[in-house]
Amino acid sequence: MNRLSTAGLLVSLLFAGVAGAQDGVPTTAPAPEPPAAAPAPQVALEQAYKREFAFLEAQKRELTARIEQTRTRFEADRTRLEAEIGRLEAGALAAKSEAESLSDQLLLIEQREQSLIENTELLDVTFEQARATLGGFGITALDDQQFQAADPSQRLDTVFDTALAALTDFGRLRSEAGVFYLADGSEVRGTIIRFGNIAAFGVSKDGSGALAPAGGGRFRLWAAPAAASAEALAAGTLPSPMQVYLFENANAAVSDPEVKTLWGEIAKGGLIGYIIVALGLLALGLVLARSVFLKNAGAAIAPIIDGVARELGAGRTDNAIAAAKRFKGSAARVVTAALRNIDRDREHLEDIVSESILHESSHLSRFGTFILMIAAVAPLLGLLGTVTGMIQTFDVITEFGTSDPKLLSGGIATALVTTQLGLMVAIPVLLLGNLLNGWAERIKDDMEKAALKVVNLYQDAQLAAARRSA
């Protein structure tokens, strides 16, 4: 590197001297001329330059060769690495494909394992159900150790064989000696005729008929009479028609059907049900009482007008008042008030009639508001009973769950019965209340028309008398 630097410096000085000689103008101020020295030989500088140039050429060729070797080695390494990368990529793809294949196989194995587990559980459930079902019929073949130790296929064959044998046995009539209970609860001994496990008949000297399960494998006489069918089967004949009671399981007791009564249904509604019924009875009484009031008030309007018209036509006002007083009711009182003030002017007389009608309205509207109030309160009480019953039902569900529907029946009955009672009271009471209000309004209109007609008759009679006197 030092030799290269020296050669570069000499070349620079050489070119600088040549440039100064060609231009003929110094670039800087002339310096004092140094003492004259002996001139350097020109041949030595050119030789030095040539040697340096030859050296540089050699260095250039050497560097070019080395660059070419490096490039060749780099291309070889790149080709080798590219081949290696291709090989690794192919290996990675093969490994990925193999991994995916193994994953699919593992998933398939897991699915098969899950299917086997589900099938095993299904078989266990099937065996348990079969054991419970057949055990209810008194068949204990599935409870022994040999059945439990067998493999699933053998156990399944045993279940089907046992069930088929049971069905074959249940498909025929079987007669055996035994005991059953009569309707009064007394135990008697006789013959029990079984039709499979769905029906049974009992025959004894104390009573015969269809049997119903009484619990624990025992039977009792059903309430419906079927003595003829039982005796015919005991004699080996088939009755026509045959009265039979079908049951699902002979070990589960069956109770007699509940006889529904009016008060029994009301009792299901509880206290709210009794309140609704009491309000309904009260509303019925008020409707009847108001009907009687309105009938008495409106029945005598036509006879009153006929009796008063004759007296007014003859000009006998006092007799007309006496004739009106012979009748009872609101209409008679309004007509009497009009007759007593018949001599007043027309406007004042109409005010008196209106006042009398308003006075009688309190009697005609008696109990009307209370009847409509009961019609509005009854469905609200039914809704209250519904909410109360649902609360009771959810309380039972919280404590006992939903396994026994009988525990839920009380709250549901309260919820439904109270709503039914509320609507049964509200609908007719509302209808009758509005009809009675319309009846009362018609009576008021009739009273007003009767009073005005009496006034008109009086004025017509006065006008006719004036014409006659004239």
pLDDT tens across 281-302, in order? 999 999 999 888 888 776 667 6
Give the CA diameter of the chain: 192
Predicted local confidence at residue 259, as pLDDT? 63
For residue 23, is pLDDT > 50? no
pTM of the model as a whole: 0.47
360/366 Cα distance (integer angstroms)? 10
pLDDT in tens, 38-69: 454 555 788 888 888 888 988 898 999 999 99
281/272 Cα distance (integer angstroms)? 14
Question: Which residues make beta-bridge pairs with 175?
Answer: 193
CA atoms lying within 13 Å on the CB side of residue 162: 21
Predicted local confidence at residue 270, as pLDDT? 83
As given in the structure block, the two tokens for residue 440 are 């009362």
For residue 427, is pLDDT > 80? yes
- Taking CA atoms, 363 is separated from 90, 114, 337, in Å, by 110, 85, 16
| Strands 218-221 and 209-215, sheet pairing | antiparallel
pLDDT (average), residues 131-150: 74
Percent of the chain with pLDDT over 90: 11
As given in the structure block, the two tokens for residue 349 are 């007389």
pLDDT (average), residues 328-339: 74
For residue 15, is pLDDT > 70? no
Q: Where is average pLDDT lowest: 25-39, 91-105, 240-254?
A: 25-39
Q: Where is average pLDDT lowest: 63-72, 218-227, 301-310?
A: 301-310
By the 8 A CB rule, do 213 and 254 touch? yes
Instruction: Specify which of 306-315, 324-333, 334-343, 377-386 reaches the highest per-range mean pLDDT.
Output: 377-386
The phi and psi torsions of 257 (rounded to 5 degrees) equal: -65, 140
By the 8 A CB rule, do 336 and 321 touch? yes
Predicted local confidence at residue 258, as pLDDT? 61
Predicted local confidence at residue 137, as pLDDT? 64
pLDDT (average), residues 181-189: 80
Predicted local confidence at residue 295, as pLDDT? 80
Percent of the chain with pLDDT over 70: 81
pLDDT (average), residues 120-132: 81
Distance of CA 439 to the CA centre of its chain: 46
Q: Which helix (H) or strand (E) holds 33?
A: none
Question: Which residues make beta-bridge pairs with 229?
Answer: none
By the 8 A CB rule, do 314 and 295 touch? no
For residue 5, is pLDDT > 60? no
Averaged pLDDT score across all residues of the chain? 77
CA nearest 327: which of 288, 360, 298, 354?
Answer: 298
For residue 372, is pLDDT > 50? yes
For residue 431, is pLDDT > 90? yes
Q: Of 100 and 257, which is predicted with more confidence?
A: 100
Predicted local confidence at residue 224, as pLDDT? 75
